[in-house]
């Protein structure tokens, strides 16, 4: 039997707004009670840094913001970005971190294969000698990342709190997207439906959510205190 998720087909935003939106959705997950998938874009060339990284890891010429999740530097210039927020108590929050990656990344793999890209799940781990404070996400595949012809094409990171689980993911070919965003979105929805038996209902943010996002931009993601925290 299919389970229902909400789907927010969002547009491009400034880097602090994008990270604030994902955290706001996590904070509101208990009241929402069901998962929410958000597909979005970036209003200018940007990078997001993993939670444990320093701002010095960001390359020159890109707007930078620290994520609430871990991982390495992710370039948001030609990428396809999405997040899923799960309320605590959803079956996926009861899995260990790697198994939750497995389910979500197999769904994305199914989407890519349907579009003619034979992506494979990585079985390797990030070597211990890699400097995680400065590493670039797409040059360091880890287990259950997606590889295409041996190159990492998709990565993800998570944060778990008492409210639930936030999964942030990015798909990047290392060049402009070879497939239009609407087709990628449709394929992702199909992949989730086939692998996780998900059906989606449209979602639009209300005034209270938009205000919460803006508050997080002002007090957290748009501040030097957050972005230079490490």
* Per-residue model confidence as pLDDT tens digits over 101-139: 999 999 999 999 999 999 999 875 544 443 444 544 455
Q: How far apart are CA 187 and CA 71, in angstroms?
A: 25
Residue 1, CA distances (Å) to 7, 86, 136, 195, 199 in order = 19, 18, 39, 12, 10
Catalytic site residues?
137
Who's near 30: CB < 8 A, 6+ residues apart?
Answer: 87, 88, 163, 164
Question: What pTM did the predictor assign?
Answer: 0.91
pLDDT of residue 141: 63
pLDDT of residue 129: 43
pLDDT of residue 128: 42
pLDDT of residue 55: 81
């Amino acid at each position: 039997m299919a389970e229902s998720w909400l789907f927010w087909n969002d547009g491009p935003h400034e880097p602090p707004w994008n990270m604030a939106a994902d955290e706001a959705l996590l904070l509101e997950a208990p009241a929402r009670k069901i998962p929410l998938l958000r597909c979005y874009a970036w209003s200018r060339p940007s990078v997001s840094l993993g939670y444990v990284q320093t701002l010095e890891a960001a390359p020159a010429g890109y707007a930078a913001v620290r994520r609430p999740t871990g991982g390495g530097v992710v370039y948001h210039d030609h990428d396809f970005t999405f997040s899923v927020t799960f309320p605590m108590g959803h079956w996926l929050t009861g899995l260990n971190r790697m198994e939750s990656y497995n389910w979500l990344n197999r769904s994305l793999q199914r989407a890519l294969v349907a579009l003619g890209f034979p992506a494979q799940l990585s079985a390797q781990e990030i070597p211990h000698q890699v400097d995680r404070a400065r590493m670039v996400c797409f040059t360091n595949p880890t287990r259950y990342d997606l590889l295409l012809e041996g190159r990492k094409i998709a990565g993800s990171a998570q944060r778990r709190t008492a409210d639930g689980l936030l999964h942030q993911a990015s798909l990047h070919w290392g060049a402009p997207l070879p497939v239009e965003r609407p087709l990628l979105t449709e394929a992702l929805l199909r992949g989730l439906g086939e692998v996780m038996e998900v059906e989606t209902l449209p979602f639009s943010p209300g005034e209270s959510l938009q205000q919460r996002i803006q508050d997080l931009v002002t007090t957290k993601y748009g501040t030097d205190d957050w972005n230079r925290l490490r």
